[in-house]
Amino acid sequence: MPNSWLTPPPRPSTAHAALATERQRVLTKPPGSLGQLEQIAITLAGLTGTDQPTVDPIHIVVFAGDHGVCAEGVSAFPQEVTAQMIANFASGGAAISVMAEELGASLEVVNLGTVGEIPELPGVLNQIIAPSTANLAETPAMTSSQVVAALTSGDQTAERAARAKCRLFIGGDMGIGNTTSAAALACALLDQAPHTLVGPGTGLNTEGVARKTRVVERALARHGNDQDVLSVLTSLGGFEIAALTGAILGCAARKIPVLVDGFIVSVAALTAVHRQPGVRDWLIFAHRSAEPGHHAVLKALDASPLLDLGMRLGEGSGAAIALPLLRSACALHNRMASFSDAGVSGKSED
C-alpha cells in the first residue's frame, strides 16, 4: 500500500500565507475588492511555500475503469463507452483534451481496466487491474489486492507529477456507472440515505434514478455498518475512484495542491480526507456539479467551490474551466503594484 495512505501529509506554510495576506493589504486596490481571488492567492502561497505563488506547470490525469454494477441498468449509456472515450481522449476529441491543450497542461490517461478492448494509444498508460469491478449490489466491488493496486496507481501518478515539478494537480474520471459507485461511497461515509444523494448521472430519467437508488440501497445493505475507510472503498468503490483517492493522498503528501473537480473526484477527496484529515488543507474546489450528491459531499468537506455552471461531465473538465481563475489570482498577487511602489495614497486611518 502506498505510503501516502499511511502517512499524514505536511501542513501548509503559515508563514508564507501570512506574508501573502500582508501583501494583499498594500496592493493598489481597496481591501477585499478582488473577493475570492485574494484568498486563492493567499492559500496558494501557503500551499506552495513561496512569496510568488503559481500553479504552473499543471498535470491533468484522467483515470478510467469499468463498473460491474452496470449490469443493473444504472446508466443511460452502454458500458463500451468507457473504452471508446479513452480513445477519444487520446485523439484529442474529449472536453478535457481540448481544455488541456487550451491551457497548456499535460494530460495523461490511466486505463485501469475496461470491458472493451483498447489498443496501444498515445498518452494512455495501461495499468490494467481487471476488465471491470464486480457488481457492488451483489458482492464487494474490489478485492483487497485490487484496491491496493488502484491506490498505488494513483500514488504513482502523484510521484510523476512531483518529479515533473508540477505545482497543481487535476484529477479526472471516466467510467460508465461510476456515479452509482460514488453515491454508494458517499452514503456510507456520510451516513446518508441513497434517495438524498443518487442523481441522474449520464442522464437517467425519473424511473432510471429510482432504479439506481434501489441498487445503491442493496449495495449498502450488503455492505453493512463497517465504517473503516479501506473497507468501504473496497466494497463500494471503483478502480478510478480508488486511484483518484491515491492520487489525492499522494499529492498532499508531496505538497502538490489539488484542484478538485465534480462529484466523482469530490467523493475520492472525501475518502482521502476520511483516511487522512490533513489532506483537506491541500484541496481547492473548482465547481459545484449539477449531480445532487455533490452538495452533501461539499458540505461535509466545508468546501466553497469557485464556480457553479451546472456542469456534470466529469473528466476533470470543471476543474480545467476553473483553472484560469487560479492563474489570474496569482498574476494579480505577484504583479500588481503596492501603494508605495505606485505612489498612490493608501486608505486613510479612521
Q: Which residues are catalytic?
A: 315
Cα dihedral 46, 48, 50, 55 sign: negative
Q: Measured between alpha carbons, how far is 212 from 75 in angstroms, rounded to an integer?
A: 8
- Tell how strand 106-111 and strand 124-126 pair up: parallel
Q: Measured between alpha carbons, how far is 305 from 161 in angstroms, rounded to an integer?
A: 24
Q: Measured between alpha carbons, how far is 104 from 125 in angstroms, rounded to an integer?
A: 20
First vs last Cα of the chain: how many Å apart? 58
Cis peptide before 57 (omega within 30 of 0): yes
Question: Alpha carbon 333 to chain centroid distance?
Answer: 26
Q: Measured between alpha carbons, how far is 60 from 76 in angstroms, rounded to an integer?
A: 27
* Half-sphere exposure (Cβ direction) of 33: Cα atoms closer than 13 Å: 9
Q: How many helices (DSSP H) and strands (DSSP E) are in the chain? A: 15, 6
Q: Residue 169 has which C-alpha cell? A: 494537480
